[in-house]
Structure 1
Amino acid sequence: MYRPREAVYAIIVNDTIDEVVTVQTPDGYFWLPGGGIEGNEDHSECLRRELLEETGFSAEINHFIGNAKQFFITSENECIANEGTFYLAQLCKKVSDPLEDDHSLKWIPVRSVDELLYHKHQAWVVREGLRFNQNLKEGSMN
């Protein structure tokens, strides 16, 4: 049986919208920054905490992009149903070194998300976030 894990993730792109922030772990995997909700955290609180822990940056949480679920088995053989909620966000300022010393912030090319992101639902949502971002820009230009 798959254990549900509610999590929140950030889609953060650079100014030219050709790179996205990821967190790389020592095993070489790339993930969107974010993670599991703890206690009574709301989505913004969780995402701000996770971004600080994983990247050392404070962040502004912007637009809700969507939800996606992915089933996987951890390296400890635990069956997880990751119930991800995704937001566009921006890094604000460097506050500290990452608190999780096995995570490093890596900008990867947007065109490489399908091959580099470990979870396919995260690659899908990056594309959705880029579409949403483009629609916002086009709407603001009218």
Structure 2
Amino acid sequence: MHFNNACFKIISISFHIKTPILVILLWHNCLNICVPNTRIGTVFGSKNIGVNYFVRKGAYAVIFKNQNEIGLIRTHEQQYFLPGGGIEKGETAEDALIREMLEETGYSIKNNYPFCHAQRYFMSTLPVKRPMLSDGYFFISQLDQKIQKPTEKDNYFEWINIKECEKLLFHVHQYYAVQQALKEKGANH
């Protein structure tokens, strides 16, 4: 049998593997995650009862340069993220992604294929310390053309070796999306 590492992280973080039945149910559920039009995505981290989480819905792009490189955003704090960001009121996820790409990189994107939804509960430290739920909608996109200079001065778009993503990406659910995009890309070739 093949085991999905992301699912074991969910089980061990959220439920501490209390019963074999729970493990089987969660593992089975994870095998069917991240297909187009999925309503419920994979969840990372633990939701603590009685804690009020700030929910930040965001749209993010997985952009491949070639078989070995992926585009990531490096912040001035030396943290890495997938390109994208928060969905503003009245925006679709794709509209937010297009806007965020222009702000962060100055590039337009094309052929945006929604393929995955994943979330992460964590304690944010920027801009303020507070419990957050990062609710991510992920697209496989292609870099198009340079339209403008980036308006977010503390973000730098870089091509990174795919093998470095697990170590570099700040959010585990973004790394999970990269893994799913690689599977999706492999299935379409």
Q: Do they fold alike, i.e. is TM over 0.5?
A: yes
54, 70, 73: which one aligns with 1:23: 73
Q: 1:69 aligns with which of 106, 119, 130?
A: 119
3-state SS of paired residue (2:159):
strand
**Cα deviations across residues 81-126 of structure 1 (Å, max 9, x unaligned)?**
0110100001100111111001000111101111000001111110
TM-score, normalised on structure 1?
0.92
Write the letter of the residue equivalent to 1:62: N
Q: Which residue of 1 aligns with 2:103?
A: 53
Task: Supply the AA of the counterpart residue of 1:42.
Answer: T
CA deviation after TM superposition for structure 1 residue 62, in Å:
2.4
Matching residue's letter, 2:84: G
CA distance in 2, matches of 1:62, 1:37: 16
Does structure 2 conserve the Cα–Cα contact (< 8 Å) formed by 1:44 and 1:61? no
Residue in structure 2 matching 1:4, options 55, 70, 73 = 55
Kindly indicate whether residue 175 of structure 2 is the aligned counterpart of residue 120 of structure 1.
no
Unaligned runs of 5+ in 1: 138-142
- Work out whether residues 63 and 143 of structure 2, in 8 Å CA contact, stay in contact via their aligned partners in 1: yes
**Alpha-carbon distance, 1:46 to partner:** 0.5
SS in 2 for 1:17: coil
Matched, 1:43 2:93: yes
Distance across 1 between alignment mates of 2:89 and 2:177: 25
- Whether the 8 Å CA contact 2:53–2:133 is kept in 1: the answer is yes
Q: C-alpha separation between the residues in 1 aligned to 2:124 and 2:184?
A: 31
Q: Given the alignment of the two structures, is residue 103 of structure 1 paired with residue 155 of structure 2, yes or no?
A: yes
**Structure 2: gaps (5+ residues):** 1-51
Specify the alignment match of 1:131 in structure 2.
183
Partner of 2:7: none
Paired AA for residue 141 in structure 2: A
Residue number in structure 2 paired with 1:140: none
Runs (4 or more) in structure 1 with deviation over 2 Å come to none
Q: Which is bigger in relative contact order (C-alpha 8 A, separation at least 6)? A: 1
* Identity of matched residues, %: 32
Distance in 2 between the 1:96 and 1:124 partners? 30
Q: Which has the larger radius of gyration?
A: 2
Q: Secondary structure at the match of 1:64?
A: strand
